[in-house]
Structure 1
Amino acid sequence: MGCRGRLHPMDGTMPLDDLRLFAMVAKHLSFVEAARRLGVPTSTLSRRVASLEDTLGARLLQRTSRRVGLTEEGERLLERAEPLLDALASVLDRTVDREEEPAGRLRVTAPVLTGSQRIAPALFAFAAKHPRISVELTLTNARVSLVEEGYDLAFRIGPIQDAELVARRIWSVPFGLAASPRFVLEVLQGRTRLDRDTLASVPAVLSRAGGTWPLRRKDGSLDELRPHERHTVNDPRVAIAAAVEGLGVVCAPLEAFEPQGDKLVRLTVVGRTVEPRELFAVYPSRRLLPRRVRLALDWVRERG
């Protein structure tokens, strides 16, 4: 079964569907996981991959009772085939039924603040343009499992560290620091420009327990400041409300400060700027992205 050099089918043909199934197994190094994601029986998947190996005259996967691994031939085939499969899927998706009106339910999850202010308006404008689309939008700051919960798409603040997900940058969200006028007067002694140590020592309202505030130094390096956590709430809007009451400094999107008017005072840090957050669209697999989801994603990105 082993071979060296070029991989080639014995009869000049290679079943594309079998190649796609192999790529999914190779990506996850698991027949069980690949079968679950593809919605086919594990036995069928195993049989189709074995058929591909017979066609190519090469063993692509090493199978044991505990694990699945790629052979040298399998690694080479995956490296060459995966980009081609992605490109082919994209071409077919844009060619076949390209005039069809997108339809179906669009299940999306997004952060509470950015989701309500920017993503929701874009998604519902998309739904208004395509009446056969129905939107189910869940706003949460929790990192839900897209596969287990059945979501088509998620918007998340980076960095994205889940290798199982495809991440596509959407836009940058400017962040800043603020506190109430009373807090500035009584705790900061009227100062709105603080050194790093002072900022780290005064009470803060965090959106995540144990969280840090990323600051960018003038030389471009990143400084992760750990604030003095006084209060914690997982909704940035409520964190801002706590800051308005004088309970501490808050770090949040600049657009969230605007409705507060003079109830909040912007703060700056000597030698540093508050790092913006990158918003990403994430989904389980580029090849499995339905057309309605791809169109919605492009729509949100263009109008964000």
Structure 2
Amino acid sequence: MLRPMSGMISLEDVRLFAAVAHHLSFVEAARRTGVPTSTVSRRVAQLEEALGVRLLQRTSRRVGLTGEGARLIERAGPLLDELGSVLDRAADREDEPAGRLRVTAPVMTGAQRIAPALFSFAAQHPRLSLELTLTNAVVPLVEEGIDLAFRAGPVQDADLVARRLWSLPYALAASPRLVKDALRGRSRLARASLGSVPAVLSHPGAAWRLRRRDGSIEEVRPRAQLCVNDPRVAIAAAAQGLGVVCAPREVIEQQGKALVELTITGRTVEPRELFAVYPSRRLLSTRVRLAIDWVMKHR
């Protein structure tokens, strides 16, 4: 249990301890907070001395939470999040957002739609500092200190608020050579043939979501010829004749004659819904709200 305090508690010490606790690394906590590693270590030790307990177990290979450390982060973590949100709102003027805005977005949609909109948003608001990470991984927002994420739906995390932005039409496509050689010159395929079509997938076992005429959804698992986690590379591979790719229709159209759109008898490819996502336990800061509205307007 926590003992009587032997000194003054610094809120900054608690914040740095929380960063170490989230990442179980002094080095990573230092990188995330912009504070030197030696300072992080000293401030955490200072907090332990003030509380009279050991909060972290340190070895040459790893950092772990003690029971007291786990209890402190369980109680203090939500309060720090709330305080951060309050300070964020205090730093924002209603007409001039300020401070750091950390955003993640999918690689392809992020590069083509989200990034240009956010760049123009940042240009309009010089007091804003923008950090944009393009990744198809589902990043834990609170743990990574992310203010806003753009994600394909459905979003089922109860700890997140998801605001639908738009629907992005998807289609199947292949190179003219693959259509000629593997598909016997046909760009319209029967549903039953899809399982044997060579495909370029985002990961092993990935499925194509198709909508039937009655509105129901089915998943098709094609034969993977190539797996690659970057959709831009997947489209390039499809253009080289390595397989059928499922991609945004607008991107397929941008390839010109390099790709031929395929249709499936009685089916259409399910569109992807894009959402703006942020932690539900944080107040929505002015800069996040305005960024979402800007992306909606300028996408």
TM-score normalized by the length of structure 2: 0.70
The answer on 1:181 being equivalent to 2:222 is no
User: Which stretches in structure 1 are left out of the alignment for 5+ residues?
Assistant: 1-29, 42-88
Helix, strand or coil for the counterpart of 2:274? strand
Q: For residue 70 of structure 1, what is the aligned residue in structure 2?
A: none
Equivalent residues of 1:146, 1:284 under 8 A apart: yes
CA distance in 1, matches of 2:208, 2:72: 41
Q: Summarize the Cα distance change of 1:280–1:263 in structure 2 as closer, same or farther, 3 Å threshold.
A: same
- What is the match of residue 270 of structure 2? 275
Q: State the SS of the aligned residue for 2:255.
A: helix
Instruction: Tell me by how many angstroms 1:224 deviates.
Output: 1.1
Match of 2:55 in 1: none
Correspondence for 1:67: none
Residue number among 127, 132, 145 corresponding to 2:127 in the alignment: 132
The aligned counterpart of 1:288 is 283
For 1:196 and 1:217, locate their aligned partners in 2 and report how far apart those are by CA, in whole Å. Answer: 10
Tell me the CA shift for residue 208 of structure 1. Answer: 2.6
Identical amino acids, percent of aligned pairs: 67
Identify the range of structure 1 (177-186 vs 292-301) with the bigger mean alpha-carbon deviation.
292-301
- 1:170 is matched with which residue? 165
Match of 2:94 in 1: 98
2:136 to 115, 136, 141: 141
**Matched residue type, 1:290:** S
Q: Does 1:36 align with 2:32?
A: no
The DSSP-based 3-state class of the residue aligned with 2:183 is: coil
Residues 176, 290 of structure 1: alpha-carbon distance in 2 compared, 3 angstrom cutoff: same
| Number of equivalenced pairs | 223
Q: 1:252 to 1:40 in 2, by over 3 A?
A: closer
- How far the C-alpha of 1:37 sits from its partner, in A, is 2.6
| AA aligned opposite 1:298 | D
> For 1:113-151, what per-residue CA distance to the aligned partner results, in whole angstroms no more than 9, with x for missing partners?
000000001101111111111211000001111111111
Cα pair 1:237 1:256 within 8 Å, conserved: no
Is the Cα contact below 8 Å between 1:217 and 1:273 reproduced in 2?
yes
Find the counterpart in structure 1 of residue 244 from structure 2.
Answer: 249
* Matched residue, 1:217: 212
Cα distance in 2, alignment partners of residues 275 and 40 from structure 1: 37
> TM-score, normalised on structure 1?
0.69
- Structure 1 residues 274 and 36 mapped into 2: Cα distance closer, same or farther (>3 Å)? same
Structure 2 Cα separation of the partners of residues 209 and 234 of structure 1:
10
Match of 1:160 in 2: 155
Structure 2 runs not aligned, ≥5 long: 1-70
Measured after TM superposition, the shift of residue 40 of structure 1 is 8.0
Deviates more, 1:290-299 or 1:107-116: 290-299
Q: Considering only aligned residues, what root-mean-square deviation do their CA atoms show, in Å?
A: 2.2
